[in-house]
Chains A and B, each alone.
Chain A
Amino acid sequence: MKRNKKVNVKFFVGLYIAKIASFFIKFFFRNRGTHAPGSIAIRICPDFLSRIGRPSTIIAVTGTNGKTSTSNLINDVLNKNNINTINNSKGSNMPAGIASSLIEKSNYKGLVSATVAVFEVDERASGYIYNHIPPTYLICTNLFRDSIKRNGHAEFILTKIKSAVPIKTTLILNADDLISSSIGEKNKKVYFSLDKISTSVTSSLVCDIMVCPECKSKLNYDYIHYNHIGKSSCSKCDFKSKDSDFSGCDVDFKNKKFKIIEKKQKIEYNMISDSVFNLYNMIGVIAVLRTYGLTHKQIKKGLDNSSIKSSRYDISKIGDLEIITMLSKNQNPISSSRALDYISNVPGNKVVVLLLTDTKDKVHGSEDISWLYDTDFEYLNRSDIKQVIACGNRCYDLSLRLKLAGINPDIIKTKITYDNIENIIEKGNIDKIFVLYELYGFNIAFDLKKKISGGLK
């Protein structure tokens, strides 16, 4: 158990008021996750995170995409190996969320009994959080263009993380990402990667690093899994992707198996999801937990009993028809492109419902739709996609984008409201209905799923 700073009166006032607030929130809001107690504690005691007790091992998870799945999986595997953890999965990945999770598990002295803390950390909050809670291990899953409003551009976020990482932190980095693999010049580093697989390509709609950071010459990509994630080298100088300590290979999507190469030895794992995104998450998790000290046998045991949360991916079967709901991170073109790529590769005739209008962004007036043009809607331009339904206030923007992606205008439908979407779905000769929804669209997506299912029974 560690503290960065000694406790003081302000700390205890903050802790106890936050605990009382937490009790009432749980009582009135049925145990709903919240960052409010942490927010109260930090307001009363600004360096609260430095003074509260924390486990001696801190695993921080950051990056543009895959933070939540990666941190949930790390947490699950540790728990399944009887290692007591604390995590911020119920709160937010901002300082208040982390403080809330520590408050909830702490005793009256402000101490927690867990062995390991697994914290998902918002990239922009890196400076504040790592200053108060220096991570023992930090995994950065990847860095690329994200929501403009939230994150600006990848270089802006990279600078924030670079300046925040403590020198003693061991970094677990994605060797296939030339942006995030440049973090931590003097830190101990462990790299993970994924070998070329059947779905690898050599170019993508958007690529966030095309020029050698050393000599400014063109970068050549041997293969790309998505965006700029892949293996590359400079066309002129010696600059290239880092060599990997843990690399995924022999990926068998059909039988859901892959292998990890560590020190020339191959170890087989079962895939918990057949998307490249989640494959990367699994390889990152294995790299973190091997570095922490678990054996492959322990990690495998944990992963075999884990799953990606159904709130992010869920399949329901009504007769021969499958209804699949999938999360696509708000205004995040790479996350959305991955989801569209995944949909396009699933066999069968499909209807795709796009619930991608950011339902919370209207408080700022209107959503910036630039991201739609960095999103590869071209994946839906195929004959087995029988209908695409664009919903919400941005339905006309989406419709225009879909048409510019070459999709037959006759199969595109628009619906500015979310009621009765089920009535415009043409279900004849359809095998699968995909409902792609943004982070705050969970309820709309599940309501729609219920209505489609109800109509078919």
Chain B
Amino acid sequence: MIRLEVLYPEYMNLYGDTGNIKYLKECIPNLEIIYTSINQKPAFMRKKIDILYLGPSTESKQEEIIKKLLNYKEKLKELIDDNTIIIATGNSVEFFGKYIEKIDKKRIKCLGFYNVYSKRIENYRYNENCLGKFGDITVVGFKNQMSHMYGKDKHKFLYMEIGTGRNIDVKEEGLMENNFFGTYLLGPILPLNPYFTEYLLKQLNQKKIELPYFEDCLKAYEKRIEEFKNN
């Protein structure tokens, strides 16, 4: 049995994140899903989990969430070191840096696992179509955010070919270490990216890896790449 924990779904579910969970459910027949709400202690604190999912949240909710996550800082680091799959999409990637600087310059302390910080920009929403490389795998997706990430850290997730990276001046996007994948890309990144999903499933040592509705998934993926490249 594979165990997936979805963290604080009442807050971290802004942009079709249920798509990732729905797709994983179809990909992994013996998947147990645990939804942990903001007032509950995460399941990863008391039992083994195989996948931890964190989606994007509103800017005000980010502060509530990080207060909770700081209580589990050591365990979260341990999960990364132990190769547990952690997927952090949208602005939840920011929790793993040092801090988030708000509009009023005040700082929200974050987990500090990586040498990066994030900065919000007033009256600003950044939209972008993105295509990046994770090794040989092409990853596509969308961004919609009110902040960017700065600082130098070697643990990048993607190298962008279309669109920007952690901020508009760099091509390195997100954070990655072992099986921790943090990215500003948001929404249903797994159904959008069949080959990356396949890679993730391989990390779970599943005997048989067969992506559901692969034909639709692949056609949609190829059409998107074509559109991104032709724009």
Contact assessment for A365 and B228 in the assembled complex, using a CB-CB cutoff below 8 Å: yes
Cβ of A373: which chain B residues have Cβ within 8 Å of it?
16-19, 22, 187-188, 191
Q: How large is the interface on B (under 10, 10 to 19, 20 to 34, 35 or more residues)?
A: 35 or more
Given the interface pairs A218-B39, A400-B213, A404-B23, the reply to whether A155 lies near B18 with Cβ below 8 Å is no
Chain A: how many interface residues by the 8 Å CB criterion? 39
For residue A313, CB closer than 8 A to chain B, the reply is: no
Contact assessment for A370 and B15 in the assembled complex, using a CB-CB cutoff below 8 Å: yes
Q: Give Cα A372 to B26, complex, Å.
A: 17
Of all chain A residues, the one with the shortest Cβ separation from B188 is: A373
- Among B18, B59, B129, B191, point to the contact of A365 (Cβ < 8 A): B129
For residue B178, CB closer than 8 A to chain A, the reply is: no
Contact assessment for A404 and B191 in the assembled complex, using a CB-CB cutoff below 8 Å: yes
- Among A210, A211, A372, point to the contact of B16 (Cβ < 8 A): A372
Contact assessment for B19 and A211 in the assembled complex, using a CB-CB cutoff below 8 Å: no
Stretch in B44-52, B105-113, B148-156, B215-223 touching the partner: B215-223
> Which of B16, B38, B146, B231 neighbours the largest number of chain A CB atoms within 10 Å of its CB?
B16
Per-position 1/0 for B119-153, Cβ under 8 A of A: 00000010101000000000000101010000000
Cβ of B32: which chain A residues have Cβ within 8 Å of it?
none
Q: Give Cα A371 to B187, complex, Å.
A: 8
Helix, strand, loop or mixed for chain B's interface? mixed
Cβ of A149: which chain B residues have Cβ within 8 Å of it?
127, 144
Per-position 1/0 for B1-18, Cβ under 8 A of A: 000000000110111111
Stretch in A112-120, A256-264, A391-399 touching the partner: A391-399
Of all chain A residues, the one with the shortest Cβ separation from B11 is: A211
- Among A148, A205, A397, point to the contact of B18 (Cβ < 8 A): A205
Contact assessment for B125 and A156 in the assembled complex, using a CB-CB cutoff below 8 Å: yes
Cβ of B217: which chain A residues have Cβ within 8 Å of it?
396, 400
**Partner-B contacts on A (CB < 8 A):** 145, 148-149, 152-153, 155-156, 205-207, 210-211, 216-218, 333, 362, 364-366, 368-374, 393-394, 396-397, 399-401, 403-404, 409, 414, 416
| CB<8 Å pairs between A and B, sample of 11 | A145-B14, A156-B125, A365-B231, A368-B187, A371-B15, A372-B188, A400-B213, A403-B213, A409-B213, A414-B216, A416-B223
